[in-house]
Structure 1
Amino acid sequence: MTLRSPFAALAAPSNRTSPVRGLAGLAGRALLAAAAALLCLVQTATAASIAASEPAAPAVATAEVPAGVTAGVAVFDRQTGTFTEQLNASMQFRSASVVKLLLALDFLWNRGPDYTVPAADRARLEPMLRSSNDDAASYYWSNNGGAAIVNRMVSRLGLTDTAPPPAGSEGFWGYTALSARDTVKIYRYVLETAPAPVRDFVMGNLRQSTRCGSDGFDQHFGIAGSFEKPWAVKQGWSGFGARGDCGPVGAARTAASTFEAGSGAKAAAAVDLARPALHTTGTVGTGDRSIVAVLTLHPLSTSFGKAYTDLGRLTRSLTVPGGVAPAGKWYGTWSSAVNVRDDATTSSRSRTKLPAGVEVLIGCQKKGQLVSVPPYSNDWWAYLPQYGGYISNIYISSPDNRLPDVSDCAAS
């Protein structure tokens, strides 16, 4: 359900100096405070009721976990109120950037009658939610209490597997422990309990997820690559280096975050802080029908492109009600920093660069400029609908210049 703010029904306190009206103003302010406290209690109670009503696990799960990958999976169908997938759903993973959901919700908790977000905070929260900006996360972590944020949200939402970073790593917000089932609870709170302005702000920004994260990593893996829109995502990654190559040549990148710079810290903890982590979380389908949480760890030294591909294959194997698979054929690629271009020529603008060795969805192909990487040459180009551009077929892992199971692009 969606709770309406009780503040909307209250008149603003009077500014006049009449004793009677002054008393009324004091009463109004007291009533406002009482209403705020009541709203907090109702929100917390409703969130706790969601946490207590744990639907049963599905009889059969379809999750196909690639070799070497450790995964925690939960898919919740909001239409039927049941899980369609649960695998290691209570297992704790370091959250990486998924904790930014809790940072945003903590900030928005009890903001006032209309939950107005000041311009300065909007300028931080929007890129934090859309582009996973680390500087914004560090700002709220430092200014709003660090580990206390996590403890507050655990209590408010009735989370069972979420915990602050371990001793010795208190400053690393991305070391917050989180499970797939707790991630589902967080999204259920946003969608079913949070005041409408909070829900609209958070989900509205997650629906505007940018292709490239602020640190230059391509963040449209997992949910974003596996299903047609509508979807909304908050992704997480850790252990792949400080910066990626996503974006046009010369695109600005944020500085390495405090969290990522310390990703090799040797804190003692039950949660694995060493293996590279890649997580996809969010909603899929009309009306946010399914909540999807896939948290993964990969072998040491796994490249970002390999983890991106493995997470994509795992996500595509899941039963996700309301999810529609995109049309096209999946192919592997090779080389690093391969340009995705506006057209089938090396002189056309580069839209972004692919993660090294990543698997891509190909919609069609056409002849274009001859590209040579001795001893090979190829004049066929593949159109990548999820990127809106072309790559030379020479970089696709196939023995044929023209891909045998991909149609030609319609003449423009």
Structure 2
Amino acid sequence: MRTSARSRFATVLRWCLPAVALAGMAVVPARAAGPDGVPRGTPAAATALDIPPGVTAGVAVFDRQTGAFTEQHNARTRFRSASVVKLLIALDHLWNRGPDYTLPADDRARLDTMLRASDDASASYYWSRNGGGAIVDRMVSRLGLADTAGPPAGHPGAWGYTALSAADTVRIYRYLLDGAPEPVRTLVMGDLRQSTRCGTDGFDQRFGIPASFERPWAVKQGWSGFGDSDDCTDTAAVTGARSGSPAPSAAGARAAVGADDVDLTQRALHTTGTVGAADRSIVAVYTLQPTSTSFGAAYTHLGRLVRSLDVPGAVRPAGTWFGTWGSDVRVRAGTTTSATVLTELPAGVEVLIRCQKQGQRVEVPPYVNDWWAYLPLYGGYVTNIYVRSPDNRLPDVPLC
């Protein structure tokens, strides 16, 4: 088939596929970006946040060098924390441990798994062992958090329903970086710098901050409401139990009333952490997205928002952003279908493409393509068949 097949392919995507196949997916290619990763047609420093329609966002970016916020949007709005609360669970567990904060080997392994791979079983273990909602009460008092509250009264065991705001999240990181004992800072921040590509529940954790900025970064991500996933593959991931969303239980019941005003229905996707040399900027971005939003679409929405932020010290990766289509799209170590599978893309997600090269001819009847795109975030290649573009060879993308 000649290259013109791609044009016919793009037309089919726009007009012929059932609407359900395109739910949550861009119909046209994503906003392209120049070599510095900044979308074409926008200034180097964005003047407005890119918040997609239907998305509720809470944002705070704090420049530790100047001591000032560079971004604030609904910074005091409460969101259900999902796995971001694991920061408070870890800090509470480490509080007043003694001069060296040494943990038994099994305890240290469990804490590492919780912070690096966002393991839910580990969080539930600490939540039950250390008093449930009392953990949140203690940390609110210790850190002077203004918007944080434990789970709603009817869900005392659901640690992911803890309410957090972007502003309080910045305060948590400021404590970690500037107030915590050195062993605690080294342990927690060290784990966040080693965040695995995949969570133990099978979800891709490289959204938001790690997808938008070059290292150094340290992240604690959060997601809730997307069901189960086993798409993400990461041989470096810390092995842990798959527990999915924590089920409400009587564990950790307390007298205090929790955050009954948090939204427990919409899908939540959050990215928090530090960016730049010496942890220059603290970034906290919380989003709630409609229940019809796929994980790939939510991942894309969050990425667009994060890329629009003013983040001092951040280095944006070179490349061009494109939409993708299809599910179970594999990222491979080389440009052949026999090359090692590194991971699978969330369905319909936008990806950063740095360069392209010709490789094995791939057929997805009635389409064929022998061009492959290199994805720096994943360190591998995908066939261009699954990249949203009218031609086999992607426009304005250099050769590898």
State the TM-score, normalized to the length of structure 2.
Answer: 0.84
State the alpha-carbon separation in 2 of the partners of residues 399 and 133 from structure 1.
Answer: 41
Query: What residue is the counterpart of 1:378 in the other structure?
Result: 369
1:83 aligns to 2:69 (yes or no): yes
* Shift, 1:269, TM fit: 2.8
Whole-angstrom CA distance in 1 between matches of 2:268 and 2:294: 11
- How far off its partner does 1:61 sit? 6.0
* 1:36-185 → structure 2 map (5 Å cutoff): 62-185=48-171
* Amino acid paired to 2:368: S
In the aligned structure 2, how far is the partner of 1:191 from the partner of 1:384? 32
Partner residue in 1 for 2:316: 325
Per the TM alignment, residue 248 of structure 1 is displaced from its structure 2 partner at its CA by 5.8
Counting aligned pairs with the same residue, the percent is: 70
- In structure 2, what is the Cα distance between the partners aligned to 1:62 and 1:189? 29
| Helix, strand or coil at the partner of 1:191 | helix
**Matches of 1:223 and 1:406, distance apart in 2:** 23
Task: Describe the SS at the equivalent of 2:86.
Answer: helix
1:223-242 matched pairs, under 5 angstroms: 223-242=209-228
Q: Distance in 1 between matches of 2:157 and 2:227?
A: 19
TM-score, normalised to structure 1, is: 0.81
| Partner residue, 2:306 | 315
1:138–1:258 CA contact under 8 A, matched in 2: no
Paired position in structure 2 for 1:334? 325
Please give the alpha-carbon distance, in whole angstroms, between the structure 1 residues aligned to 2:194 and 2:102.
Answer: 20
The partner residue of 1:391 within 377, 382, 385 is: 382
Does residue 284 in structure 1 map to residue 294 in structure 2?
no
Q: How many residues align?
A: 345
4+ aligned runs moved over 3 Å, structure 1:
251-254
8 Å contact kept, 1:61–1:84: no
Residues 360-389 of structure 1 show CA distances to partners (whole Å, capped at 9, x for unaligned) of 010110111111112211010001111011
Match of 1:23 in 2: none
Greater per-residue helix proportion: 1
Match of 2:262 in 1: 271
**Which structure's relative contact order is higher, taking Cα pairs within 8 Å and 6+ residues apart?**
2
In structure 2, the CA distance between the partners of 1:238 and 1:228, relative to structure 1 (3 Å rule), is: same
Q: Which amino acid aligns with 1:91?
A: T
State the shift of 1:168 in Å. 1.2
Amino acid at match of 1:333: T
Residue from 299, 307, 311 that aligns with 2:290: 299
Instruction: Please list the CA deviations of residues 79-114 of structure 1 after superposition, one character each: whole Å capped at 9, or x if unmatched.
Output: 000000000000000000000000000011000011
Per-residue deviation at 1:261?
8.6
Relative distance call for 1:110 and 1:71 in structure 2 (3 A) is same
Structure 1 equivalent of residue 14 of structure 2: none
Q: Partner letter of residue 227 of structure 2?
A: G
CA deviation digits over 1:206-237, x for unaligned, max 9? 00011111111000100001101000000000
**AA in 1 matched with 2:187:** F
User: What are the ranges of 5 or more consecutive residues in structure 1 without an aligned counterpart?
Assistant: 1-59
Whether the 8 Å contact between 1:61 and 1:85 is mirrored in structure 2 is no
Q: Which residue matches 1:19?
A: none
State how far apart, in whole Å, the 2-side matches of 1:253 and 1:341 are.
25
Residues 242 and 256, structure 1, Cα contact 8 Å, conserved in 2: no
Name the structure 2 match of 1:408: 399
Which amino acid in 2 is paired with 1:257?
Answer: G
Shift of 1:390: 0.4
Larger Rg: 1
Task: Say if 1:353 and 1:258 are closer, same or farther in 2 by CA, change over 3 A.
Answer: closer
Q: Is the 8 A contact 2:119 2:240 kept in 1?
A: no
Is the Cα contact below 8 Å between 1:243 and 1:256 reproduced in 2?
Answer: no
Unaligned runs of at least 5 residues, structure 2:
1-45, 250-257
CA contact under 8 A between 1:242 and 1:261: conserved in structure 2? no
How many Å apart are 1:349 and its aligned residue? 0.9
Q: Report the AA paired with residue 53 of structure 2.
A: A
Match of 1:368 among 339, 359, 363: 359
Structure 2 vs 1, CA of residues 170 and 261 (structure 1 numbering), >3 Å: closer, same or farther? closer
d(CA) in 1 for partners of 2:369, 2:47: 42
Residue 255 (str. 1) matches residue 242 (str. 2): yes
- What is the RMSD computed on CA atoms of the aligned residues? 1.8
Could you tell me how far 1:257 is from its partner in structure 2? 3.3
